[in-house]
Amino acid sequence: MDDDDIRAALDRHWAASDAGDFEAEHDIYREDAMLDYPQSGERIRGRRNIQLSRAAQPDRKRFAVRRIVGSGPLWVTEYLLTYDGRPSHTVSIMEFSEGKVARETQYFADPFAPGASRTPWVERMA
């Protein structure tokens, strides 16, 4: 699988995630994939367990991809994940093996008010 194929698979994955298509969303993972959430100290092993854990979440999720970068086996997606209207800036690091995700690590960051001390040097992002 070359970089163009992986990028297309990632585009399909995030589109399916946003659409709530749990079957298509998890096509990207190997059967023995591992998903880590370092902030909560959780690890989920296996494609099916990853899929079931996400399907069990009661919140309506929306995914807005900001950028995807990577090559070879390592790809990073930066996106805004919204749970029932509450945004969280998110980074997904995916490691591919044999054309599928073998390992993913996700980091979440809630928005916060800008620091007044930085005002002279910053511009507001949309």
C-alpha–C-alpha distance, residues 13 and 96, integer Å: 14
Task: Tell me what pLDDT residue 88 has.
Answer: 94
- Give the ranges where 20-97 is alpha helix by DSSP (H): 22-25, 47-55
66, part of any domain: yes
45, part of any domain: yes
125, part of any domain: no
Task: Tell me what pLDDT residue 110 has.
Answer: 85
Helix (H) or strand (E) holding 83: strand 74-83
116, part of any domain: no
118, part of any domain: no
Range of the domain at 15: 3-110
Per-residue tens of pLDDT for the chain, all 126 residues: 899 999 999 999 999 999 999 999 999 999 999 999 999 999 999 999 999 999 998 878 999 999 999 999 999 999 999 988 899 999 999 999 999 999 999 999 988 888 899 998 999 886
Task: Tell me what pLDDT residue 13 has.
Answer: 98
| CATH number where 55 lies | 3.10.450.50
pTM of this prediction? Answer: 0.92
11, part of any domain: yes
DSSP label at 40? T
Q: Into how many domains does the chain fold?
A: 1
